[in-house]
Amino acid sequence: MVNKINNMELKEAIFESLSALMINKMRTGLAILGIIIGIASVIALISLGQSSQKSIESRIESLGSNLLTVRPGAVRESGVRGAAGGRTSLTLDDAKEIVVSSQVTTISKVSPEFSERSQVMAEGNNTNTQIIGVTPVYADVHKINITSGSFISQNDVDSMAKVAVLGPQVVTDLFGDGANPIGQTIRVNSQMLTVIGTTVAKGGTGFNNQDDIVYVPLTTAQKQLFGANYLNTISLEAKSSDVMVQAQNEVGYLLLARHHLSDPTNADFSIMSQQDLINTVSSATGTFTALLSGIAAISLLVGGIGIMNIMLVIVTERTREIGLRKALGAKKKIIINQFLTEAVILTFSGGIIGSLLGVVTSYFIPKLSVLILQFLYQRLFWLFLFPESLVLFSVGTLRKRHLIYSRLKR
C-alpha cells in the first residue's frame, strides 16, 4: 500500500514537472540543447579518437607483424651529435651484410630502400609523390600485390633499368581514373621511366598513403634519379613474431660493429618493430583522444551549468507557488523533489537525445574521420575561436533585446 502511494506520487511528480516544463518550451528546449550537444560531442569525439586509433593500428599491423625497420639516426662525430636523420649512415653494404652474416640467424628477408619525394610527369600531368627505390624482396616484405604487369625484378635492379611500378593513386593522378598505364613513360628528374606494373590499392592517407607511391629499382633511384649512395630504410622480416627481440639485438650489434661503434647509446641508426610503431602512434592518438574528450567534457559541463541557471530562474520565478504549496502542507522534501524531478527530466531527455545523436554521428565517423582529423589539425585555431564567436553573437542579441525591451517600457 505504501509502495503504491509512492509510485503514485512519483507518477504525479513526473506529470507535474512535465507540465511545468511545457509552460516555457523555449527555455526548456535551450536547456536540453546544451546537454544534447555536450553528450553527443563527448560520444562522437571519443569514438572519433578511438576509431582513428584503431584504423591506424590495423593499418600498421597489415604491414606485417614481424617487420623490423632500420632507419638512419643522428651521426655522432668527435663527440658532437648531429641532427637525427643525418641520413647517410645506412648503406646497401649494411643490408647485404645482414643477409650474409652468420651472426644474424632470425632474419628471413632484407629489403633495402631509398626514398625521396619528387615531381613526376606524364602526358602533361604531374604530381608530387614518393619515389622509392626497392629490390624485388620489397613486395614480399611489405605485402605489395600487383594488379597488372609485374613488380621490379632482380634483373631490373642489376641492370639499373629505367622502369617504374605505380601505385593506384599515382595512376589516377597521371593517367586518369581506371587508365592502363603499362608501357607508358613517366618522367622523374628528367629521366624517362617505362611503367611496367601497377599495385593493388592498400588505402591510407596523407604522409602514410601507400597508394601514392612510385616504385623504381633501388640502383636506378640511387644512381640515376637522386645521386645518392645511402639508404634511408632497411626493412627486415623476422622468421617469426616470437623472435623479434632477438632479431632486433642481432641486427643492432651487427650494425654497431660495422659502424665501429662500441656504445649502443651512440648508435647512428634505430631499429623499430611494428609493435614499437604501434605503441608510439597509440600514445599520440591517445593524447589526441584525451584532448578531444576534454573539449567535449567542458561543453558537457557548460551544458550542466546552463541547466543549473535555468533551475535557479525557475525557482526564483515560482517562489509564490512554493509558498502556496508549503501553506497547503507540502514538506520541504516534496518541494525539493519536484524541482529535482524537473532537473532530472531536463538532463535525462537531453542525455538520451544526445546519446542517440552521438551514436549516429559516430556511425558516420569512420567515413569522415580522416577528413575531420585533417580539418581539426588545420583549423584547430578556428575551433578555439568558435566559443568566442558564440559569446559575441549572444551579446549582440542581448543588446538588441535590451533595446526592444527599453522601447516597450517607454
User: Which residues contact another protein by CB under 8 A?
Assistant: 4-5, 8-9, 12, 19, 23, 320-321, 324-334
| Cα–Cα distance measured from residue 313 to residue 311, given in angstroms and rounded to the nearest whole number | 5
Closest distance to another protein from the beta carbon of 307 (Å): 23
2-23 helix and 332-409 helix, angle to the nearest 10 degrees: 10
Closest distance to another protein from the beta carbon of 311 (Å): 19
| Cα–Cα distance measured from residue 193 to residue 224, given in angstroms and rounded to the nearest whole number | 11
- Length of the chain counted residue by residue: 410
Q: What are phi and psi of 152, to 5 degrees?
A: -60, 130
Which residue, 333 or 409, is less far from another protein as judged by CB? 333
Closest distance to another protein from the beta carbon of 7 (Å): 11
- Side-chain-side CA neighbours of 218 within 13 Å: the count stands at 24
Which residue, 9 or 123, is less far from another protein as judged by CB? 9
Which residue, 316 or 397, is less far from another protein as judged by CB? 316
Which residue, 5 or 408, is less far from another protein as judged by CB? 5
Which residue, 20 or 195, is less far from another protein as judged by CB? 20
Which residue, 328 or 408, is less far from another protein as judged by CB? 328
CA–CA distances in Å: residue 328 to residues 8, 213, 333, 337: 19, 81, 14, 16
Closest distance to another protein from the beta carbon of 334 (Å): 7
Element (H, E) at 149: strand 146-149
Closest distance to another protein from the beta carbon of 5 (Å): 5
The angle formed by the CA atoms of residues 374, 375 and 380, to the nearest 5 degrees, is 110
Whether 352 and 31 have beta carbons less than 8 Å apart is answered as no
Give the residue ranges of DSSP H helices in 63-107.
92-100
Closest distance to another protein from the beta carbon of 28 (Å): 15
